[in-house]
Structure 1
Amino acid sequence: MSKHATAAFTLDSWDQESVVEQAGGSIGQAAVTKTYSGELTGTSVTRLLFGAGTEDSPGYAGFEIVTADLQGRKGTFMLHHNAARVGDDPDKGFFSLTVLANSGTGDLTGISGSAQITVAADGGHTLDLDYTI
């Protein structure tokens, strides 16, 4: 049976650096830490890799290891981030956030699912996770 959990999160750190800048594009990377609260409580460490051909067409991919209590189940799991944008048109581009297969540990062994991140007008971040165990 599929379950749903909602958690607010704060970005505790965001250390980004440019790796490559040349004609035709740029590549950067970031190390990010977060704290979650709500139906998922805990912390995470994330590594992101960014690429952009132009200012209005960036993309990124990365992995996030979440250490948490998810609705009474304690353990870790990994989220795979993958996104790209084309200009300001929300219908062009994509955003995918999935639980990496076989990444669950502890009470979260066997977890699978997908998630969405919402950024509110006030800058607050929310993770909505649909999952099965």
Structure 2
Amino acid sequence: MQATGEFEVNLQPLEAYAPGSDGVSLGRMSINKTFQGDLAAISIGEMLTAMTAVEGAAGYVAIEQVSGTLRGKRGTFVLQHFGIMNARESRLVLEVVPDSGTAELTNLAGRMTIHVEHGKHTYIFEYELP
């Protein structure tokens, strides 16, 4: 199945445990999102980042717990992020953490794709819900 829509995201810096060295900056941020569309939900989570001295080269990992409704089914689930960027390309993977779904979203599995164009964030969520 597929769910689509838009979302707003608010990232705020948090105190980092490890600041980085040798031209690498390590960071930590809070994540707050509001999803609209087939996924009507909010999420809260944390992100860890690594930015190198080369412009555009970075990586991040994040965990966010999503709470709301997916095509009318209510519950929560966790999304795990893995992102790598350089000057030529970027790769971003968002997957539902296995067995993280609750209530009507129990046994949810899937992957989310995020697109950002002109400051507007959209998602495509390919999922399975037995």
> TM-score of the superposition, structure 1-length normalised?
0.88
**Count of aligned pairs between the two proteins:** 126
Q: Does 1:128 align with 2:124?
A: yes
Aligned 8 A contact 2:14 2:30 in 1:
no
Specify the alignment match of 2:86 in structure 1. 86
- Distance in 1 (CA, whole Å) between partners of 2:116 and 2:15 is 25
Unaligned runs of 5+ in 1: none
Task: Find runs of 4+ consecutive structure 1 residues off by over 6 angstroms.
Answer: none
1:44-63 pair list within 5 angstroms: 44-54=43-53, 55-63=55-63
Specify the alignment match of 1:97 in structure 2. 94
Aligned 8 A contact 1:50 1:58 in 2:
yes
Unaligned runs of 5+ in 2: none
> TM-score of the superposition, structure 2-length normalised?
0.90
Give the CA deviation at 1:86.
1.8
Q: Secondary structure at the match of 1:102?
A: coil
Aligned 8 A contact 2:41 2:67 in 1:
yes
Aligned 8 A contact 1:18 1:27 in 2:
no
Q: Secondary structure at the match of 1:22?
A: coil
- Distance in 2 (CA, whole Å) between partners of 1:70 and 1:56 is 34
Identity of aligned residues (%): 30
